[in-house]
Structure 1
Amino acid sequence: MGNTTSDVNDSLKAQADSENGPDLYKLVNVNDGGELARLMKIAITTKNYSDVDNFIRTEVIKYLYNNGEGEDVPIEKIVMRRSGDKISKQIPGSNLMKHSDKKGPKTKRHCFNIDKTGAVGESLLHLCMLNGTPLFIDLAKRLIKIFPKMINDIYLSEDYFGETALHMAIVSEDPCMVKFLLLHGADVHEKCCGKFFCPEDQKNNQEHSLSQASPIFSLNTNYMGYAYFGEYPLSFAAILNQEECVRLLMATGADPNKQDFNGNTVLHMLVINNNLPMFKLMLEFNASLHIKNRQGLTPLTLAAKLARKEMFQFILERLRHVWFVYADVAVGSYPLETIDTIAEDGSTDTTSAIYLVVNGETEEHLELLEGFVVDLLNRKWNSYIKKKFYFEVVFFVIFMALSISMIIMKRLFFDYLSKEMNCTLETDNYTKLLDECKCAYLEPNDPNRFVRLIFEIFVLTYSVIYLIKICSELYIQSIKLYIETLLFNPSKVIFIFSLICYLLIIPMRFSCNYVGEDYLIIFSILFKCTYILYLGRGFRVITTFVYIIHRVIRTNFFRFIIIYMVFMMGFSQAFYILYGFGRPPVTMMFTSPLKALFDLLNMSIHDLSDAYDNLLLTEYAVVGRILFVIFLIIVSLLLINLLVAMMTHTYNLTTELKREWLRQWAKQVLTIEQNVTIKERLKQQKKYANTLSSGEKAFIVRWKLTKNEREDILSNKSIFQKNIMQSEEYNYVKDI
């Protein structure tokens, strides 16, 4: 990256250094100088352009191919001129062969000799456009009139590759020059794909092919760039709000559905730049709303991904088909393709509008959770997801109740073995089973054994069925989608681990390892409780609090624990050294480096008086007091209160988001839907979707017309009636 920046700076310095730069700069340079500039000034003053024209015909022609007729330059030569040794550095040999096999034009027509261009690959015409003064614009026009083939020459440097005079005229907001260029044959579909015109995250993430003029860009991007205008002149004009230029380009045959290196059409680009007025204008020129870019996004789904609210709502209304209007109530339908999360084949469409809106993480995405989006989610919930969710909740409650009852009864059985069977041995700290009674759990003889066995079988059956269900979910979904779902639901991952722990109890039971069994039961029941955080998102009452817990753990607590543990490790070892020189009463604390860490953790949470009293008995009591005060201020007061403040801030921010509960509930809806088989999804989709005569699936809605909608209907009605009357009058006159 550093080398690339250095190369760019060197090229720009060379361009500005007209005296020591390429010979081209003797004719025209970026400092408003050059022989042609001098001759143009004289010609403008004397109104005699013969000297300029003669100079162009005799001197400029030396820089052109075939006396200005141009030449078909091999693509390989253009690529090498653009990228140089980056070809071999960025693409290994095998990939180079793969890219070289791609089909495409083998040559490109160029008028200006590519070996005689400027420091950044510019031609004489580009230099005139770059200066941009009336004098140089007139000079550019004279160059084009004398050598018309020059008009489509492109920048050849990596940073501005593909830029033509037409692109530059549009950026300069000069519709007169745009019109002149179009009248003289400027290519309206020339691609401008230099690094300067790329999204920021693609500038240093591209490959080069010897058989393809433009670079090969990575698929992953957020489309954000200071000068990402979409390659084509039409996209440049639309994004820069040059309506006159847009109309000129469309009149000349520009295609609004052409796709750039990211697969974006002019509509995609206008969504990225959030330019609704120009978006409406391009729709008047029949720009398509159904073209997908390289990431599989249409303008609608791109608006959903980038949280462009006005764009999203406008496109939805544009896609909506009105069936009939009765008074101020309308009935219509929305096409479900690219909107619903269930694709045509029943798979989960991760590029659908609903999926992108629900899984968006910004506050702007929350603004999209209204109207049609919420209606569709509610229909999904009421049609089949609600039943599945409550069924899972009920079984989990039963499962937890039986698990807790099983643990209580297991403890009662242990007491039975201790009191009735004399199978235990009392020690100073705990009670353990005798060796001859370790297998007592395999052959219980207490009064509750049958009830406990039934509970254990039920819990075991639930665990096995749930794990089988997890395997089926993995089979139904793609591995990538399933992993993303689990990462979003960490409590579900922990619950799965608790079930695995419970299954591991079986070999412990048969091997008579009651200690290992107890450990597994402890972890199992502890991890099971976290599943309520997963199910809690389905209830509005606790959804927000569940989200706050996840967010605090993921952000505040994680950052806090890193800083906290750094201080704890330092202080614990310092106290370990201090207490190591203490008298016998002090030896119960900080006796080893590891125990020192746990003692300090306990000391920071509980009463500090005992630790302080013992500290006074050490040899370094003075140093100990100082260290104790520093620890008290930094850890016990500053860090702990900082954590509380951070959590309070997170809580306040989250509660201010009025629709966050709705997003969490919607995520729960989609998570349950993803776990349903493809066949079942398509079956359940029929409950809320209607199939039209065209075979298209649609979602029927009713809504009350707004004032603007009523005015539009009345306006269209009057226009229609006027056309009917004119048609009838014409037919009447014709009959006479």
Structure 2
Amino acid sequence: MGASSSTASDEGQVGGRLREDMKLYHMVDMHGGGEMMTMMRYAKATNDYSFVDHYIKTRISDFLLNNEKGKLFAITELVSLRNKERNAKLGAFLRKKGKGKAAVNVLEGFDQADAKTGDLKKALKLLDGGGKGGKSESKYRELNWRLDERGSMGETIIGVCLLQGTTIHNILALRILDFYPKLLNDICTSEDYYGLSPLHQAIINHDVEMASKLLRRGADVNQRCYGAFFCADDQKSSRTDSLEHEYVDLTQNTNYTGTMYFGEYPLSFAVCMNQPDLFRLLVARKANLNAQDTNGNTVLHLCVIHEKTEMMKLALEAGARLHIANKQNLTPLTLAAKLAKKKLFYLILELEGQSVWVYGEASCSSYPLTKIDTINEVTGEMNEESALSLVVYGKTSEHLELLDGILENILEEKWKAYGRLHWFRSLLSFSVYYVIFTAAYMLRPFSATTEQITEGLIHSDGSLANTTTGQFRWTDTGEKLVAIDRFFKKLRLGCEVVVIILVIVQIMMDVRDILRIGKAKWFSVMKAFPAKLLYKASFVIVLLEVPVRLSCHLHQLFLVIDNVLAAIAVVLTTVHFLYYCRAIPFVGPFVLMVYTIIATDLTRFFLIYSIFLVGFSQSFYLIFTACERASKQIEAKGGVSDFENVIDTPLEALLRTFIMTIGEFMTIYKEMASCDAMLMNIIGKLRLGCEVVVIILVIVQIMMDVRDILRIGKAKWFSVMKAFPAKLLYKASFVIVLLEVPVRLSCHLHQLFLVIDNVLAAIAVVLTTVHFLYYCRAIPFVGPFVLMVYTIIATDLTRFFLIYSIFLVGFSQSFYLIFTACERASKQIEAKGGVSDFENVIDTPLEALLRTFIMTIGEFMTIYKEMASCDAMLMNIIGKITFLIFEIFVSILQFNLLIAMMTRTYETIFETKKEWNRQWAQVILMLELSLSPQERLMHLLKYSRPTGVNKRIRSYVVNKKVGLAEGLTEEEEMKLREARAEQIREEKRQLMKKKNRDHEIKENAVRAMRQTPGAEANGELPNG
């Protein structure tokens, strides 16, 4: 890796950092001892330093390079040593080689013993830019202490003295510098402390006097410290070296965590150590106030990171600039927004603001919107690094505290300017789309699927193929129902056409948005609105249904695929209503609450429950369908079958299975299911029309999404959409709807396509329906409740089922073994001619799991009854004991624990009242994404005013009470008002006292003049 020192030198250096018996530590050690310290204490007591000076001259010179003149090292050599030390500490899989290509070392083979350092530096500057590199960094560094005789930190004897920081150590360091002044800027060379200079150490020691003496001797005020010890914690693992420069390459994906990230420069160290005197001293020595470290942070950024309010004010008074952005493109203001530093955020906000007028206790201030608003005031594009965007999409509760004051006011203005109108318009259009969508996919002719699968044994009207008339004759009422069914088929067809047209229009609008703001920005905005993302995904599903529907004559599989796509599209489209609910104050918080509970507690529960529900329901559906097919075939051949299919559709299977989960309500449901409202012909026509409309609408919405993605970028679009799961599911329904088209067209090829069509249709319906949650998030009345439900699902239920599954599996297999033993005993009794009442209801391990789960939710008498009738006395007792333990530790303990956990989550979310504000704000920014840059600029003009003479630079004007800063709590504002009122009362008292004194003086003068009437005539003045 580039040039390196000799092997002996390397071994000496590494060995020196591992041993405590270095020669350096014999002179001055890390514990306040050493040969020189003994002499220094004696010299201080006797005031005789001659033998100390003699020791410095004779012994320290052996540790210096090039006969005390110092030596220039290529940066590539020092970086190679640093990289080697770092890799020695890491495992084999974590080691990283240096990047870049090493420059030619013009000093290689050059004897520096007789050369003058100053002349050599000038020559290097002329030869290859050694004086100043491309980034204002030298390609060569002068060192004076031997590399193989440095301490464990790569420090010199000056560094050891300043590590102790006592008075006597400082005196020794200064005496050494008197003899060897070049040690003043000799840095530490280890990986952890690379670049640490004596000036840095004096600042860390809070030693103003020592720092002043070092500065007077010529300490470098701009020396940078790149050591890992002073690196942000979340960047340490990413540290890599490059042979092209001295600083360390770091990942920019950081929140600057850790307490020791001090910003490399001595001035930044003084700020982070909260040392105003040292700060002023360094500024007086021409330290660069706006110097940027490897992360691009200035002293003002460091003030924000470490929350140094007073140092922030001091730096601004000294001339630091507020508008410098770091490598994350964050100014101090936006960095405070990202890190949720409320106090610093409002301080910088007030410092950037300008007073327009002040009248009494009222005032008017303007705040530049350049780094505050999400709209670029020049181009109208979305500003991802704005303070508003960073706060709204922040994840912590501290970010919620910033949604007050000016940010909340700006959001209110955005809502009034365009948010409310666009939200209602979007809700209305989606409602129309959803009605058509539902008509298209919920009125499907499932009987046609039966005709295909049974190969014509059963016609689509329910008749059998072997009837004498060739067709099953219904009653007159049945014929009327068929006519009505045909009408609904036509209606469905019309709705399907309308849906396809609307989908295409919406897709075109999305494509326009993507082209306008970029794919990344579009996705970044959309991911905050899952309901809208799901809604847009339904466009793809709708469009996919077109080729599937056209292919239905090819194979039966396409019929199944068509139904599946339709179901998915319906769900994704329906979910979009949640997007609108988020913006309604009456229901927004309630929806947010539900989202939270669903996203956490219920999600964890349904992740497991849905697996069982979907799997078993479809299993039941396939079993009942096969049984029905066998029954029809028997009847077609003239036989008789008593079978009645109560699960004739996948949806029916889901409903029946769900009803089995929550209890036995089959009697009521059976009567409900027997309603004679099967208007299949009319429904079929209506469905067909709706399906066409849905496909068109899906295509339109997909095009609109593509437009938004191209306009704002894929990353930004997904970044926005992922915050709105309901919208994401809705947009996923687009894909399913489009998939249904080729599936429907392939239904004639094979029966499997009919199944796939039904499955896709079911999924599309679900994903579309979920989109209503997107609107609910913006409704205060329901938003918080949705958030509550999400939280409970995501936390409590997952923890519960992780434990519950252990008990379920263990006890279920225990019951299986017990019942198997009881069955064996029962058969033995029957084999001997006896009679046994025992019936094994748990004859398989899977049956054991099911029965145990049913017993958990309340139905336990069946199992206990059979267990009590077990003929094996020992297994009877063991079974009852096992049953008792299971009921205590699972049914009672764990379920009550789950309820307690969910209650805690509910209360936590309920107390976070500002969470709905964040959801409401995300809805507004989502709506803003769909606007063109020109529209955004027009809306920006409504709630902003020009700054100065440049009318393109906009500001937001706020009217407020004088002196009441942004972000104060009610208690702080009350105390501030009381203090100001007391000050006004005191001023009035002082004014009254002054008036009274003046009045008394005037009265005394008048009284004196009246007592001496001849005084004026004689030219005398009264003494009063």
TM-score (structure 1 length as normaliser): 0.85
RMSD: 3.5
Match of 2:802 in 1: 562
Q: 1:531 to 1:447 in 2, by over 3 A?
A: closer
Q: State the shift of 1:678 in Å.
A: 4.5
Match of 1:366 in 2: 400
Could you state the TM-score of these two structures normalised by the residue count of structure 2?
0.62
| Partners of 1:495 and 1:450 in 2: CA distance | 25
**Is 2:701 the counterpart of 1:466?**
yes
Aligned 1:152-171 pairs, distance under 5 A: 152-171=185-204
Alpha-carbon distance, 1:639 to partner: 2.5
Q: In 2, distance between residues paired with 1:398 and 1:601?
A: 43
C-alpha deviation, 1:311, in angstroms:
0.6
Kept in 2: contact 1:579–1:586 (CA 8 A):
no
Partner of 1:231: 264
- 1:146 is matched with 179
SS of 2:247's equivalent in the other structure is strand
Residue number in structure 2 paired with 1:376: 410
Give the counterpart of 1:350 among 384, 395, 398. Answer: 384
Name the structure 2 match of 1:727: none
After superposition, what is the alpha-carbon deviation per residue over 1:150-204, rounded to whole angstroms, capped at 9, x for unaligned? Answer: 1111111111111111111111111111110111101111112211111222233
- Which runs of structure 2 are paired with 1:123-142 in the superposition (5 Å)? 123-142=156-175
Change (3 A) 1:447 1:52: closer
Q: Helix, strand or coil: the match of 1:541?
A: coil
Structure 1 letter corresponding to 2:432: I
Q: How has the CA–CA distance of structure 1 residues 471 and 708 changed in structure 2, closer, same or farther, with 3 Å as cutoff?
A: closer
In structure 2, C-alpha distance between the alignment counterparts of 1:445 and 1:15, rounded to whole Å: 87
The higher-RCO structure (CA 8 Å, 6+ apart) is 2
Structure 1 equivalent of residue 766 of structure 2 = 526
Letter in 2 for 1:492: K
SS in 1 for 2:240: strand
Distance 1:398 1:580, change over 3 A: farther
Match of 2:79 in 1: 79
Counterpart amino acid of 1:260?
D
8 Å CA contact 1:262–1:293 kept in 2: the answer is: yes
Partner of 2:61: 61
Q: Does 1:398 align with 2:613?
A: no
- How far apart, in 2, do the equivalents of 1:514 and 1:318 lie? 67
For residues 354 and 956 of structure 2, the distance between their equivalents in structure 1, rounded to whole angstroms, comes to: 9
1:233-632 aligned at under 5 Å gives the runs 233-343=266-376, 344-404=378-438, 409-410=443-444, 417-418=461-462, 419=474, 420=478, 428-430=643-645, 446-447=681-682, 450-507=685-742, 509-510=744-745, 511=747, 516-581=756-821, 582=823, 589-617=841-869, 620-632=875-887
Higher-Rg structure is 2
Tell me, in whole angstroms, the C-alpha distance in 1 between the residues paired with 2:892 and 2:647. Answer: 42
Distance in 2 (CA, whole Å) between partners of 1:385 and 1:490 is: 20
| 2:461 aligned partner, one-letter code | L
Q: Which moved more, 1:375-384 or 1:420-429?
A: 420-429
**Residue of structure 1 in register with 2:954 after alignment:** 698
1:265 Cα deviation from its structure 2 partner: 1.0
Q: How far apart, in 2, do the equivalents of 1:416 and 1:654 lie?
A: 52
- CA-to-partner distance for each residue in 1:590-638, whole Å, 9 max, x for gaps? 4444444344333322422123223345564333323322332233222
CA distance in 2, matches of 1:452, 1:588: 48
Measure, in 2, the Cα distance between the counterparts of 1:382 and 1:630. 61
Secondary structure at the counterpart of residue 191 of structure 1: coil
Aligned equivalent of 2:900: 645
Q: Which moved more, 1:614-623 or 1:481-490?
A: 614-623
Gaps of 5+ in 1: 1-9, 434-443, 715-736
**1:451 deviation in Å?**
4.4
Partner of 1:4: none
8 A Cα contact 2:368 2:956, kept in partner? no
Q: What is the SS of the residue equivalent to 2:955?
A: strand
Conservation of the 8 A alpha-carbon contact between 1:580 and 1:587? no
1:656 offset after TM fit, Å? 0.8
- Report Cα offsets for 1:424-461 as digits up to 9, x if no partner: 9597132799xxxxxxxxxx983555544444444444
Task: For residue 959 of structure 2, give the secondary structure of its aligned residue in structure 1.
Answer: strand
TM superposition shift of 1:478: 2.3
Tell me the SS of whatever aligns to 1:68: coil
Report the CA distance between 1:568 and its aligned residue: 2.7
Where do 1:619-698 residues align within 5 Å?
620-678=875-933, 680-692=935-947, 693-694=949-950, 696-698=952-954
Instruction: Give secondary structure in 1 for the equivalent of 2:44.
Output: helix
Corresponding residue to 2:223 among 190, 198, 209: 190
Moved more, 457-466 or 637-646: 457-466
Q: Is the contact between residue 928 and residue 936 of structure 2 (CA under 8 Å) also seen in structure 1?
A: yes
Q: Summarize the Cα distance change of 1:38–1:625 in structure 2 as closer, same or farther, 3 Å threshold.
A: same
In 2, Cα distance between equivalents of 1:40 and 1:431: 100
Q: Quick check: 2:203–2:270 contact (8 Å CA) kept in 1?
A: yes
Q: Which amino acid aligns with 2:852?
A: L
The 1:653/1:447 distance shift into structure 2, 3 A limit, reads: closer
- SS of equivalent residue, structure 2 residue 248: strand
8 A Cα contact 2:392 2:922, kept in partner = yes
- Between the aligned partners of 1:614 and 1:158, the Cα distance in structure 2 is 73
Change (3 A) 1:49 1:631: same
* SS of structure 2 residue aligned to 1:66: coil
CA distance in 2, matches of 1:550, 1:11: 57
Give deviations 1:530-555, integer Å, cap 9, x for gaps: 21221112211112112222222222
What letter matches 2:289 in structure 1? P
How many residue pairs get matched?
690
Q: Residue 33 of structure 2 aligns with which residue? A: 33
Query: Which stretch of the first structure deviates more once superposed, 274-283 or 583-592?
Result: 583-592
8 Å Cα contact 2:241/2:248 also seen in 1: yes
Q: In 1, distance between residues paired with 2:410 and 2:326?
A: 25
Please report how far the alpha carbon of residue 563 of structure 1 lies from its aligned counterpart in structure 2 after TM superposition: 3.1
2:169 maps to a residue whose letter is F
The one-letter amino acid paired with 1:613 is K
Q: Which amino acid aligns with 1:57?
A: K
User: Percent of aligned positions with the same letter in both sequences?
Assistant: 34
**Cα distance in 2, alignment partners of residues 13 and 614 from structure 1:** 77
Report if aligned partners of 1:73, 1:108 keep a CA contact under 8 Å in 2. Answer: yes
Separation in 1, partners of 2:282, 2:792 = 53
What is the alpha-carbon distance in structure 1 between the residues aligned to residue 730 and residue 811 of structure 2?
A: 36
- Alpha-carbon distance in structure 2 between the residues aligned to 1:340 and 1:100: 45
